[in-house]
């Protein structure tokens, strides 16, 4: 047990996380320190949350300023930060209207609700079914875990909400077979991050978007992990030449401050009218101060383009250093979300990397997932790749 967390204190928590025996107490840029003074190169980023590194100056300054002024008021009042953050999102995306919430699951929940209500109330067609994909991950509320295409998150939660169909990804015939006059929306990730770091096929995405438009189905893109510059574009859908009707954000949106958002096209405003949805803490002055500063930094400093460049470098170095390593089956990803698929479980590699001062995580049992921040240097990439190559060669 860590010296900074007593056994009694740890027992006060539900055991919902299989925690590593590391207590992190300080962060700066790409680096973290534990309570024993050990330093770690962070290629987890809080699972794609600290996209600007740890304790970024611009976000800290914005938060400190707001903390000195106003923390919370109800959404029954005007909140300037919230409106300005929404304008930054719509100015830099295909969306026109924003709903702020507190997490990725809540953002996806809002997207599901908006899709159903728009179809049923605004369009009057009674549609309610949502099509999702195997190996997807959309959250842990009852609706979003039902939408998730992984059985492990659903165990013990029956009965699950009706109205969700899960099909094989990258198979347009499977979509055509699943669509009915009850289909309200199709929901997908541009990269299945939790499912193994699988980028979606570009030709398939375009065919899917065309099908949605033809059939009056809303296209929802879950950008919770891929948004905010991580893939080399501000939003991952930009890689594929499509415009979703709805997309969702969280994780990197507030640089570590908890906040989520659902962004939608103009015509969908009539789906969410006054009183139809809400959130007590959604879009507080503090949260949206973090959002504003985060977007301004990513856009102003052209960090999406930097992520694309550094991501190409990371992929090239991994492929070069891991070529010929029998355990490695594939290296894939988009921008700075990268997966190393191996021929067996990788949990021991993750633990061994920690002992070498490198933090990585898994994406399924056989995939090592790398999520460095957008400001990661080539020297830091070289260090991480060297550690991983040595561990994989020795395993």
Per-residue pLDDT tens over the stretch 188-200:
999 999 999 999 9
Q: Is the pLDDT of residue 223 over 50?
A: yes
Q: What strands, in cross-sheet order, belong to the sheet with 24-28?
A: 24-28, 31-34, 39-42, 358-359
CA distance 121 to 102: 26
Residue the block writes with tokens 């719509």:
90
Supply 361's token pair: 């995580």
Supply 23's token pair: 């207590």
Share above pLDDT 90 across residues of the chain, in percent, rounded to a whole number: 97
DSSP β-bridge partners for residue 367: 341
* Average pLDDT value for the chain: 97
Supply 382's token pair: 């070289």
pTM score of the predicted model:
0.97
- Strands 246-249 and 218-222 come out as parallel
Beta strands in 134-274 (DSSP E): 164-167, 183-189, 191-192, 198-199, 218-222, 246-249, 260-264
Supply 124's token pair: 């009057």
Give the max Cα distance, the chain: 61
CA distance 395 to 390: 9
- CB contact at 8 A, 282 and 245: no
CA distance 369 to 364: 9
What class is the 302-366 domain?
alpha beta
Q: Where residue 6 falls among pLDDT bands split at 50, 70, 90?
A: confident
CA distance 148 to 138: 5
In 3D space, the residue among 121, 91, 101 whose CA is nearest the CA of residue 268 turns out to be 121
CA distance 198 to 193: 7
What class is the 57-300 domain?
alpha beta
pLDDT at position 3: 53
Domain positions in the chain:
57-300, 302-366
CA distance 367 to 364: 6
To the nearest 5 percent, what fractions of the chain are helix, strand and coil? 40, 20, 40
Helices (H), the chain: 7-11, 45-48, 57-67, 80-91, 104-117, 142-147, 172-178, 202-215, 285-300, 303-322, 347-355, 378-394
CA distance 124 to 216: 12
Phi, psi of 328 (to 5 degrees): -85, 125
pLDDT at position 7: 84
pLDDT at position 342: 98
Q: Is the pLDDT of residue 266 over 80?
A: yes
**Rg, the chain, Cα only:** 21
Give yes or no on whether 57-300 and 302-366 have one common fold. no
Q: What is the pLDDT of residues 9-59, one digit of tens each?
A: 989 999 999 999 999 999 999 999 999 999 999 999 999 999 999 999 999
Phi, psi of 120 (to 5 degrees): -80, -40
Q: Is the pLDDT of residue 80 over 50?
A: yes
Question: Which DSSP helix (H) or strand (E) runs through 99?
Answer: strand 97-101
SS3 of residue 136 by DSSP? coil
Angle, alpha carbons 144-146-147 (nearest 5°): 60
Report, as an integer, the average pLDDT of 308-327. Answer: 97
Q: Is the pLDDT of residue 276 over 80?
A: yes
In 3D space, the residue among 296, 225, 280 whose CA is nearest the CA of residue 59 turns out to be 296
Phi, psi of 128 (to 5 degrees): -145, -15
Q: Which residues contact 109 (CB under 8 A, 6 or more apart)?
A: 101, 139, 141, 143, 144
DSSP 264: E
Question: Which DSSP helix (H) or strand (E) runs through 34?
Answer: strand 31-34
User: CA-CA distances (angstroms) from residue 13 to 1, 154, 300?
Assistant: 14, 22, 41
């Amino acid at each position: 047990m860590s010296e900074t967390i007593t056994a009694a204190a740890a027992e006060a928590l539900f055991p919902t996380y299989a925690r590593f025996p590391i207590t992190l107490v300080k962060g700066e840029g790409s680096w973290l320190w534990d309570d024993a003074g050990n330093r770690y190169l962070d290629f987890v980023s809080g699972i794609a949350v600290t996209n600007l590194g740890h304790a970024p100056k611009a976000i800290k300054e914005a938060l400190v300023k707001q903390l000195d002024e106003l923390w919370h008021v109800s959404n029954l009042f005007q909140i300037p930060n919230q409106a300005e953050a929404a304008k930054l999102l719509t100015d830099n995306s295909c969306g026109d209207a924003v709903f702020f919430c507190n997490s990725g699951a809540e953002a996806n929940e809002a997207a599901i609700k908006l899709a159903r209500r728009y179809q049923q109330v605004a369009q009057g067609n009674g549609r309610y079914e949502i099509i999702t994909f195997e190996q997807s991950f959309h959250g842990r509320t009852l609706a979003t875990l039902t939408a998730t295409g992984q059985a492990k998150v659903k165990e013990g939660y029956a009965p699950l909400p009706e109205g969700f169909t899960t099909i094989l990804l990258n198979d347009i015939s499977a979509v055509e077979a699943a669509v009915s006059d009850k289909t309200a929306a199709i929901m997908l990730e541009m990269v299945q991050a939790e499912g193994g770091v699988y980028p979606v096929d570009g030709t398939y995405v375009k065919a899917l978007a065309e099908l949605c438009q033809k059939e009056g189905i809303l296209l929802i893109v879950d950008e919770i992990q891929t948004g905010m510059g991580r893939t080399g574009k501000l939003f991952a859908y930009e890689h594929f030449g499509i415009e979703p009707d709805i997309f969702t954000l969280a994780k990197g949106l507030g640089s570590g401050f908890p906040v989520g958002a659902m962004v939608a096209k103009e015509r969908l405003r009539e789906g969410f009218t006054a009183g139809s949805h809400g959130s007590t803490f959604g879009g507080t002055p503090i949260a949206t101060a973090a959002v504003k500063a985060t977007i301004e930094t990513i856009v102003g400093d052209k960090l999406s383009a930097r992520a694309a460049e550094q991501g190409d470098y990371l992929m090239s170095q991994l492929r070069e250093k891991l070529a010929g390593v029998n355990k490695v089956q594939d290296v894939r990803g988009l921008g700075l979300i990268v997966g190393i698929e191996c021929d067996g479980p990788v949990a021991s590699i993750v633990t061994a990397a920690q002992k070498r001062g490198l933090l990585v995580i898994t994406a399924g049992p056989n995939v090592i997932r790398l999520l460095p921040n957008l400001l990661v240097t080539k020297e830091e990439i070289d260090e991480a790749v060297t550690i991983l190559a040595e561990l994989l060669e020795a395993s």
